[in-house]
Amino acid sequence: MSRCHSRRFVLSGLAAAAAGPALAEAPLTSIRPRPRGHGSRPAPESGRDLVREAGLGGTVGYLAVDAQSGRVIDAMNPAVRLPPASVAKAATSYFALSRLGAGFRFRTTIEATGPVENGRVNGDLILRGSGDPSFDSDAMAGMIQALKDQGIFEVRGRFRIDASCLPSLHHIDPDQPDHVSYNPAICGLNLNYNRVHFEWKREKADSYATTMEARAVRFSPGVRIARMRIEDRALPVYTYEEDGGIDRWTVARRALGKEGARWLPVRRPAEYSAEVFETLARAHGIPLTRGPDAAGVAGTVLVTCESDPLSELLHSMLRYSTNLTAEVVGMTASGQQGDKPHSLIRSARSMNLWYNRTIGTTSVGLVDHSGLGYGSRISARDMVTLMQSARTDGLLPKLLKPVNVGTPGAQVAAKTGTLNFVSALSGFAEAPGAAPIVFAIFTADLPRRDAIPVAQRERPDGARAWANRSRNMQKKLIDRWLALAAA
């Protein structure tokens, strides 16, 4: 059996541990610090003043506690349940590591249903997935090269795929525009984050050369399962329909300009993987004939491609906020006890229940594992309880992204979350002379978000400015809390 390791984007990991119920009954108002003598930091303006100055509308909920004692430093609406956006990925990471372990690896295999004799597979060839969210065209090409290195040049049976380890889902959130690549399909056989690379270049005044590719670093085979047609219109920029097993896209000519490229989601990722595998195998001199799916069909493993350890996949996910990774990891973890989830919401409910039973949360109400779904809710109080529990082993603060604030010497590591008129931040902060802090900040103007038409949800008017004001408020709140922690 050969083994290959594919390219991965970022390294490191996230681990978690149990915690007590110290924060389960945090008070709803902040405890005023005692005045200190000479050398203490000046008292910052109140948190409510900072919220009012931000002018966000909607609802703001936050909680900051001393990480060592559990003492509440500051709070506003800490029990109100609000959307966490991508902060949910921190919760998913803790859950997955607890269920699967930091060293867990996804495995993609090439198997044969018959013996291999004189370079010929006397049976079918199966590409079997375990859900690896980081599997790409380069890794797939490496597997085929390993097959060729074994001297295999012919398959007398058919080529089959098995993506049955996870449910086949058309998207993460049904309320997103068709063309956004952060809302891909999901199944047990994922490729290139289930995206296709659309590129265009003007050749003449009224014509373009276009490509649709399964692009990675070394290999970028063209695909036919996703096709593009340019149409003479101004809006909408993209349209999509599935027709005869093909993702058929159109794009407005007036939106193209001279040249450009973007990623588009793939809605049938198992078929996408199969097409790319056939193309790469043919390029390596191994022609294949497609057969039916191979769920439940046993085979002898010829080649295995392992993902990086779960800890490293999660570090990449937390840095780049990749929704596919969050959903695959979450569903794999929730199905670890033998009950394979049939939907994201069922898988998320399994995670919610685990949190309530394990660390005593009461408001964790996620509908998926990435935070993209509209219905996810959690309170700042429960998010702090969760983060405090995950902090006890000391790994989580090192794996989250750094956040710059105004306090000299401050070190802040947090997971951000942004949706239209939703902004969230949760993590850890410390500064010289200040007690370490665990915090969560959730802000949402849901009526304003609900008023956005689906076609405008990628870049709605006012959303970017609103998010910038929220981020500035978050940094000022953290500076305030560090000053209070030092008092």
Same domain, 245 and 226: yes
Same domain, 435 and 412: yes
Predicted local confidence at residue 415, as pLDDT? 97
Predicted local confidence at residue 457, as pLDDT? 84
**DSSP 8-class letter at 169:** B
DSSP string, 296-365: T---EEEEEEEPPPHHHHHHHHHHHT-HHHHHHHHHHHHTTTS---SSHHHHHHHHHHHHHHHH--S--B
Predicted local confidence at residue 413, as pLDDT? 94
Same domain, 116 and 85: no
Is residue 133 within 8 A of residue 193, CB to CB? The reply is yes
Same domain, 254 and 388: no
Number of domains in the chain: 2
Burial class (CB in 10 A: 0-12, 13-18, 19+), 27: exposed
Block residue for tokens 């800890």: 311
Q: Which of 14, 65, 70, 52 is nearest to 380 (CA)?
A: 65
Q: CATH number of the domain that 413 lies in?
A: 3.40.710.10
Instruction: Write out the two tokens for 406.
Output: 């105004």
Q: Considering 284, 306, 328, which residue would you say is the last residue of a domain?
A: 306
Same domain, 233 and 338: no
Burial class (CB in 10 A: 0-12, 13-18, 19+), 174: exposed
Instruction: Write out the two tokens for 450.
Output: 């609900």
Q: Considering 306, 322, 350, which residue would you say is the last residue of a domain?
A: 306
Report the C-alpha gap between 98 and 104 in whole angstroms. 11
Report the C-alpha gap between 368 and 327 in whole angstroms. 7
Instruction: Tell me if the pTM is above 0.85.
Output: yes
Full pLDDT tens readout for the chain, 487 residues: 434 543 332 222 222 222 232 333 333 333 333 333 334 455 567 999 999 999 999 999 999 999 999 999 999 999 999 999 999 999 999 999 899 998 999 999 999 999 999 999 999 999 999 999 999 999 999 999 999 999 999 999 999 999 999 999 999 999 899 999 999 999 999 999 999 999 999 998 779 999 999 999 999 999 999 999 999 998 999 999 999 999 999 999 999 999 999 999 999 999 999 999 999 999 999 999 999 999 999 999 999 999 999 999 999 999 999 999 999 999 999 998 777 888 999 999 999 999 999 999 998 999 999 999 989 999 999 999 999 999 887 677 777 899 999 999 999 999 999 999 999 999 999 999 999 999 999 999 999 999 998 878 888 999 999 999 999 999 999 999 999 999 7
Same domain, 85 and 153: no
Same domain, 322 and 194: no
Number of H helices, E strands in the chain: 11, 22
Predicted local confidence at residue 23, as pLDDT? 30
Q: Which residues pair with 59 in a beta bridge?
A: 444
Same domain, 314 and 302: no
Same domain, 181 and 267: yes
Give the containing element (helix H, strand E) for 275: helix 269-283
Distances (CA, A) of 352 to 11, 76, 122, 129: 27, 24, 47, 27
Same domain, 93 and 151: no
Same domain, 128 and 264: yes
Note down the domain range covering 71. 2-101+310-486
Q: Considering 286, 306, 326, which residue would you say is the last residue of a domain?
A: 306
Report the C-alpha gap between 436 and 147 in whole angstroms. 53
Same domain, 77 and 12: yes
